[in-house]
Structure 1
Amino acid sequence: MDIVAWNARGLGNPNTTHALKDSLLKFKPSVVFLSETKKKRKYLERLRTKNRFSGSFYVDPRGLAGGLALWWAEGISVSILKESTNFIDILVSFNGEEPWQRTFIYGPPNTAEKHQFWANLHLIRKQTSSKWCIIRDVNIVADQSEKEGGNPINSNQAKWFLDFIDVAGMIELPIK
């Protein structure tokens, strides 16, 4: 199952929607996760229909910030388990295969919200009995070598992320 996960940083710009369409044509994913859409579901439904995905789920933005969209193709079975402004947690199977739990994440940019965010993810992990995969933009840089310029990374936030990976028994997979 191919997945495209993209921080759209707003889908109101025609160049962004063209870039999305080009990516979808190129990669032909079964599942698409868009974070920071900054758009309500009515607008996103028009995009989904134009791009020929059969299913969808949305978390509307708060004012002009955030917004999540999840689209899936024919043959994909999706059950929404939990959602928040920062994630969509699902159970998904493809053509009747064994279901996997997947959590699509857009981490809070505000430091004040990060602690509760990690607590929520730890709770999801504790309640998970099936195979679990997270697809993420956690808004945290884990190591200074992953960052160019600007302020140094926040070591407390990096520790939260790295502790979560360790405690949850997860490994990072390469992305394209």
Structure 2
Amino acid sequence: MAFVAWNARGLGNSNSHRALRDTLTKFNPCIVFLSETKKKQKYLERLRTKNRFSGSFYVDARGLACGLALWWTEDISVTILKDSTNFIDTLIVVNGEEPWQCTFIYGPPHTAEKQQFWRDFHCLRQDTTNKWCVIGDVNIVVDQSEKEGGNPVINSQAKCFLDFMDVAGMIELPIKGGMYT
């Protein structure tokens, strides 16, 4: 089962549409999560239809910021449990197997919002006994080796995120694809 999670940084031009189509063709995912779409549902629905996904859920962009899209194929059952500007929390069933929780995340980019977000996000874990997977962009770099250029890693943000992972009993799975995604 393949998932694609992509911080699109906007889906308003033919280059981004082509990159999306090429990625979907290459990986043939059953679930696609797009963050920072900077678009409203009506626009994203046209893209979903063109790319032949049967199900969808959206958190509209606010002005020219944010925006989340979740698409899935007909063989996947997705129930939306909760959503916000920064995540879509779901219950997924594949081929009638045991349901599991998957939260698709786009962490807040602004430092002032991060600590409260992790406190609120932790409540999702406390509310479930299901297996849980978190997919997306947390907008935190925990080690300088994970980035090139720009400002140095903010240790307090990295610690907050690592503490959250520890308390929630989470592990980081290896990525497949570009190193800086």
Q: TM (normalized to structure 2)?
A: 0.95
- Which residue matches 1:63? 63
- Paired amino acid for 1:173: L
Q: What TM-score comes out, normalization by structure 1 length? A: 0.98
Aligned to 1:20: 20
Matches of 1:40 and 1:117, distance apart in 2: 23
Aligned to 2:175: 175
Q: Which runs of 4+ in 1 moved over 4 A?
A: none
What are the ranges of 5 or more consecutive residues in structure 1 without an aligned counterpart?
A: none
CA distance in 1 between counterparts of 2:110 and 2:26 reads 34
Unaligned runs of at least 5 residues, structure 2 = 177-181
Compute the displacement of 1:112 (Å): 1.4
Give 1:116 deviation, angstroms: 1.7
Secondary structure (helix, strand or coil) at the match of 2:45 reads helix
Q: Give the residue type in structure 1 aligned to 2:22.
A: D
Partner of 1:156: 156
Query: 2:59 touches 2:68 (CA, 8 Å); kept in 1?
Result: yes
Q: Distance in 1 between matches of 2:110 and 2:174?
A: 27
1:110 aligned partner:
110
TM-aligned CA deviation for residue 150 of structure 1:
2.0
Q: Note the alpha carbon deviations across 1:100-141, whole angstroms, 9 max, x for none.
A: 100000000011111121011110011111000000211110
Aligned sequence identity (%): 75
Q: Distance in 2 between matches of 1:157 and 1:14?
A: 35
**Structure 2 residue 48 is the aligned partner of structure 1 residue 82:** no
Count of residue pairs the alignment pairs up: 176
- 1:22-61 to 2 correspondences below 5 Å: 22-61=22-61
- Could you tell me how far apart the structure 2 residues matched to 1:97 and 1:30 are? 16
What amino acid is the match of 2:147? Answer: K
Give deviations 1:21-59, integer Å, cap 9, x for gaps: 011011100000000000000010000000000000000
Separation of aligned partners in 1, 2:149 and 2:42: 38
